Amino acid sequence: MEEEEWEQPLDEAMDLKFTDAQQAFRAEVRAWLHAHVPPVGTLPSLDTQTGFEAHRAWEHTLAADRWSVVSWPEAYGGRGVGIIEWLIFEEEYWRAQAPLRVSQNGIFLLAPTMFTFGTDEQKNRFLPPMASGDEIWCQGWSEPDAGSDLAGIRSRAVRAPGDDGWLLTGQKTWASRGAYAEWCFGLFRTDPEAERHRGLTYFLVQMRSPGVSVRPIPQLDGETGFAELFFEDVFVPDAQVLGGVGQGWNVAMATAGSERGLSLRSPARYTEAAALLVDLYAATLARDPTLALPYADAVAQAWMDAEAYRLNTYWTASRVLAGGSVGAEASANKIHWSETDLAIHRTALALLGSSGERRDGNRWLDGYLFALAGPIYAGTNEIQRNVVAERLLGLPRG
Amino acid sequence: MEEEEWEQPLDEAMDLKFTDAQQAFRAEVRAWLHAHVPPVGTLPSLDTQTGFEAHRAWEHTLAADRWSVVSWPEAYGGRGVGIIEWLIFEEEYWRAQAPLRVSQNGIFLLAPTMFTFGTDEQKNRFLPPMASGDEIWCQGWSEPDAGSDLAGIRSRAVRAPGDDGWLLTGQKTWASRGAYAEWCFGLFRTDPEAERHRGLTYFLVQMRSPGVSVRPIPQLDGETGFAELFFEDVFVPDAQVLGGVGQGWNVAMATAGSERGLSLRSPARYTEAAALLVDLYAATLARDPTLALPYADAVAQAWMDAEAYRLNTYWTASRVLAGGSVGAEASANKIHWSETDLAIHRTALALLGSSGERRDGNRWLDGYLFALAGPIYAGTNEIQRNVVAERLLGLPRG
Amino acid sequence: MRFSFTEQQIAFRDSLRQLLDKQCTPTDLRAAYERPEARTTRWAALADLGVVGMTVPDAHGGLGLGMTDLVLVLEEAGRVGLPEPLMETTALAAPLLARALTPRSSALLTEIASGSLTAAVADHRAMPPPWADDAPGPSSRGGKAGGNQPVGPRGDPGGSPTGSLRCELVAGAQGADLYLLPTTFSGGRPELHALRAEAVSVLPVAALDPTRRLGTVGWDPTPSSLVAAGEEAHLALADLEVSAALATAAELLGLADRMIDLASSYARDRHQFGKPIGSFQAVKHLLAGAQVKLEFARPAVYAAAWSLDEERDPGSREHSSRRASLAKAYAADAATEAARVALQVHGAIGYTWECDLQLFLKRTWALAEAWGSATDHRRRLLTSLIEER
Amino acid sequence: MRFSFTEQQIAFRDSLRQLLDKQCTPTDLRAAYERPEARTTRWAALADLGVVGMTVPDAHGGLGLGMTDLVLVLEEAGRVGLPEPLMETTALAAPLLARALTPRSSALLTEIASGSLTAAVADHRAMPPPWADDAPGPSSRGGKAGGNQPVGPRGDPGGSPTGSLRCELVAGAQGADLYLLPTTFSGGRPELHALRAEAVSVLPVAALDPTRRLGTVGWDPTPSSLVAAGEEAHLALADLEVSAALATAAELLGLADRMIDLASSYARDRHQFGKPIGSFQAVKHLLAGAQVKLEFARPAVYAAAWSLDEERDPGSREHSSRRASLAKAYAADAATEAARVALQVHGAIGYTWECDLQLFLKRTWALAEAWGSATDHRRRLLTSLIEER
The CA distance from B294 to C25, in Å, is 44
Helix (H, G, I), strand (E, B) or coil at B184: strand
Count each helix (H run) and each strand (E run) in chain B, helices first.
13, 7
User: How far is the alpha carbon of C312 from chain A, nearest alpha carbon, in Å?
Assistant: 29
pLDDT of residue A364: 96
Count CA atoms within 13 Å of residue A131 on its CB side.
24
**pTM (two decimals):** 0.94
Question: Nearest residue of A to residue B300 by CA position?
Answer: A294
CATH of the domain at B82: 1.10.540
Chain C residues within an 8 Å CB radius of D281: 280-282
pLDDT digits (tens, 9 = 90+) for D204-247: 999 999 999 999 999 999 999 999 999 999 999 999 999 999 99
Label residue A360 by pLDDT band (50, 70, 90).
confident
Give residues with Cβ within 8 angstroms of D9, minimum separation 6. Answer: D68, D69, D72
Q: CA D69 to CA A311: how far, in whole Å?
A: 18
Find the Cα–Cα–Cα–Cα dihedral D72, D74, D78, D84, rounded to 10°.
150
CATH code, domain carrying B235: 2.40.110.10
CA A248 to chain CA centroid, Å, is 20
Q: Which of A54, A76, A102 is the last residue of a domain?
A: A102
List of chain C residues whose C-beta atoms are within 8 Å of the C-beta of residue B390:
284
In this structure, which amino acid lies at residue D261?
D
Full domain range(s) for residue A32: 1-102
- In this structure, are residues C119 and C92 in contact, taking their beta carbons and an 8 Å threshold? yes
Same domain, yes or no: B274 and B388: yes
Q: What is the mean pLDDT of chain D?
A: 91
Between the CA atoms of D153, D158, D162 and D164, what dihedral angle is there, to the nearest 10 degrees? -50
Mutation test of the interface with chain C: which of A197, A280, A357, choosing the one with the most C Cβ atoms within 10 A?
A357
- Give the other-Cβ count within 10 Å of A382's Cβ: 24
Sign of the Cα torsion D120, D126, D127, D131 reads negative
Angle at A253 between CA A251 and CA A258, to 5 degrees: 105
Residue A168 main-chain phi, psi, to 5 deg = -100, 135
Domain boundaries, chain D: 7-116, 232-388
Of the residues A91, A135, A259, A329, only one is catalytic, namely A259
Q: Is the pLDDT of residue B321 over 90?
A: no
d(CA A253, CA A391): 15
C touches which chains (3+ CB pairs under 8 A)? A, B, D
Residues of D in contact with C282 (CB under 8 A): 281-282, 285
Q: How far apart are CA D218 and CA D204, in angstroms?
A: 11
* In contact, B395 and C284? CB cutoff 8 Å: yes
Residue A312 lies in a domain: yes
- Does the beta carbon of D205 lie under 8 angstroms from any beta carbon of chain A? no
Extended beta strands in B107-190, E state: 137-140, 156-159, 165-176, 183-189
Gap from D198 CA to chain A (nearest CA, Å): 33
The pLDDT of residue B263 is above 80: no
* Confidence label for C159 from pLDDT (cuts 50, 70 and 90): low
Strand partners, B219: D352
Chain A hits for D306, Cβ within 8 Å: 14-16
Distance CA D33, CA A338 (A): 43
Residue C325 buriedness (CB in 10 A; 0-12 / 13-18 / 19+): buried
pLDDT at residue D146, as a whole number: 34
pLDDT values of chain D reduced to their tens digit, one per residue, 389 residues: 999 999 999 999 999 999 999 999 999 999 999 999 888 899 999 999 999 999 999 999 999 999 999 999 999 999 999 999 999 999 999 999 998 889 999 999 999 999 999 999 999 999 888 888 666 543 333 333 333 443 333 334 456 788 999 999 999 999 999 999 999 887 889 999 999 999 999 999 999 999 999 999 999 999 999 999 999 999 999 999 999 999 999 999 999 999 999 999 999 999 998 899 999 999 999 999 999 999 999 999 999 999 999 988 766 777 899 999 999 999 999 999 999 999 999 999 999 999 999 999 999 999 999 999 999 999 999 999 999 88
Q: Is the pLDDT of residue A259 over 70?
A: no
Q: Per residue in A280-306, pLDDT tens?
A: 999 999 999 999 999 999 999 999 999
Residue B183 has pLDDT above 70, yes or no: yes
In percent, the amount of chain C with pLDDT more than 90 equals 83
Which residues of B are part of the catalytic machinery?
259
ipTM associated with this complex: 0.94
**Any idea what DSSP says for residue C148?**
-
CA C27 to chain centre: 22
β-sheet with C226-229: strand ranges across: C119-121, C178-185, C189-196, C226-229
Task: Tell me the shortest Cα–Cα distance from D36 to chain A, in angstroms.
Answer: 29
Subunit contact B17:C284, Cβ cutoff 8 A:
no
Are C260 and C252 a contacting pair, CB within 8 Å? no
Q: Does residue B46 fall inside a structural domain? A: yes
Q: Are strands A224-237 and A200-206 parallel, antiparallel or unpaired?
A: unpaired
Q: Which of B361, B347, B369, B360 is nearest to B276 (CA)?
A: B347
Sheet architecture: strand order including D178-185: D119-121, D178-185, D189-196, D226-229
DSSP per-residue letters across C238-288 = HHHHHHHHHHHHHHHHHHHHHHHHHHHHHHHH-EETTEEGGGSHHHHHHHH
Please tell me the distance from the alpha carbon of residue C136 to that of residue D95, in angstroms, as a whole number: 50
d(CA C63, CA B343): 43
Helices (H), A228-321: 248-260, 268-287, 289-292, 296-321
D123 vs B: CB within 8 A: yes
Angle between the A268-287 and A83-95 helix axes, to the nearest 10 degrees?
Answer: 30
Nearest one of A146, D282, A373 to C340, comparing CA atoms: A373
Work out the average pLDDT over B327-334.
Answer: 90
- Nearest CA to D62 out of D103, D17, D14, D108 is that of D108
- Put simply, the chain D residues between 66 and 95 with a CB less than 8 A from any chain A CB are 68
Residue B377 inside a domain? The answer is yes
pLDDT tens, B116-169? 999 999 999 999 999 999 999 999 989 988 877 777 899 999 999 999 999 999
Asked, for residue A121, whether it belongs to a domain, the answer is no
Confidence at residue D154, expressed as pLDDT on a 0 to 100 scale: 33
DSSP H helices in chain D: 7-23, 26-34, 41-49, 67-80, 86, 94-99, 103-114, 230-269, 281-310, 318-346, 357-369, 374-388
What 3-state class would DSSP assign to C352? Answer: strand
pLDDT value of residue D160: 79
B48: left (phi over 0), alpha (psi -120 to 50) or beta: beta
Please check whether residues A90 and A142 belong to one and the same domain.
no
Q: What average pLDDT does the segment B263-283 reach?
A: 91
- Of B223, B252, B281, the last residue of a domain is B252
Inside any domain, residue B158: yes
CA distance B147 to A353: 46
CA distance D126 to C356: 55
Pairwise CA distance, residues C123 & D366, whole Å: 47
The CATH number assigned to the domain with range D232-388 reads 1.20.140.10
pLDDT for res B196 = 74
Q: Give yes or no: residues A344 and A296 share one domain.
A: yes
- Residue closest to C202 by CA, chosen among C171, C149, C162: C162
Please indicate, yes or no, whether residues A87 and A1 belong to a single structural domain of this protein. Answer: yes
CA angle D183, D187, D193 (to 5 degrees): 20
Is the predicted pLDDT of residue A8 greater than 70, yes or no?
no
The answer to whether residue A128 sits within a structural domain is no
Residue C169 and residue A355: Cβ atoms within 8 Å? yes
Residues 6 or more apart from D358 whose CB is under 8 A from it? B220, D350, D351, D352
Determine, yes or no, domain membership for A125. no
Structural contact between residues A94 and A266, judged by C-beta atoms closer than 8 angstroms:
yes
Distance of CA D64 to the CA centre of its chain: 20
Q: CA torsion B173→B177→B181→B187, rounded to 10°? A: -30
* Residues in A touching B297 (Cβ below 8 Å): 294, 297
Examine the fold and report which residue of B227, B252, B277 is the final residue of a domain before the chain moves on.
B252
Q: Kindly tell me if the per-residue pLDDT of A12 is higher than 90.
A: no
Q: Does any CB of chain A come closer than 8 Å to the CB of residue B239?
A: no
D246 shares contact with chain A (CB less than 8 Å): no
Residues of chain A with pLDDT > 90, as a percent, come to 77
Count of other CB atoms within 10 angstroms of residue D19: 18
Domain count, chain B: 3
- Contact across the interface for A3 and D385, Cβ inside 8 Å: no
Residue C23 exposure: Cα atoms within 13 Å on the Cβ side? 18
User: Between D131 and C15, whose confidence is greater?
Assistant: C15
| Superfamily the domain D7-116 falls into | Acyl-CoA dehydrogenase/oxidase, N-terminal domain (1.10.540.10)
- pLDDT surpasses 90 at A389: yes
Instruction: Name the packing angle between helices C281-310 and C67-80 (round to 10°).
Output: 150
pLDDT of residue B195: 77
Q: Are B178 and B189 in contact (CB under 8 A)?
A: no
Predicted pLDDT of residue C147: 38
For position A223, what pLDDT does the model report? 83
Tell me, yes or no, whether A174 lies in a domain. yes
Backbone angles phi, psi at B15, to 5 degrees: -155, 115
Residue C152 above 60 pLDDT?
A: no
Could you report the per-residue pLDDT of A154-175, keeping only the tens digit for each?
999 999 999 999 999 999 999 9
d(CA A311, CA A332): 14
Q: Does B297 touch chain A (CB under 8 A)?
A: yes
pLDDT of residue C146: 35
Q: Are the CB atoms for D94 and D86 separated by under 8 Å?
A: no
Digit-coded pLDDT (tens) for D325-346? 999 999 999 999 999 999 999 9
CATH code for the domain of A311: 1.20.140.10
Q: What is the pLDDT of chain A when averaged over all its residues?
A: 91
| Residue A85 in this model has a pLDDT that exceeds 70 | yes
In this predicted structure, the answer to whether residue B7 has a pLDDT above a threshold of 60 is no
When pLDDT is cut at 50, 70 and 90, the band that residue B221 belongs to is confident
Percent with pLDDT over 70 in chain B: 95
List Cβ neighbours of D26 (8 Å cut-off, separation of 6 or more). D356, D359
Kindly tell me the number of DSSP H helices and DSSP E strands found in chain A.
13, 7
When pLDDT is averaged across residues B336-360 and rounded to a whole number, the result is 96
Counting as contact any 3 or more CB pairs under 8 A, the partners of B are A, C, D
What gap in Å lies between CA A194 and CA A179, rounded to an integer? 32
For residue B293, which residues of chain A lie inside 8 Å, CB to CB?
Answer: 293
- Nearest to B110, CA basis, from B182, B171, B213, B53: B182
- CA dist., res. C67 & res. C303, Å (int): 10
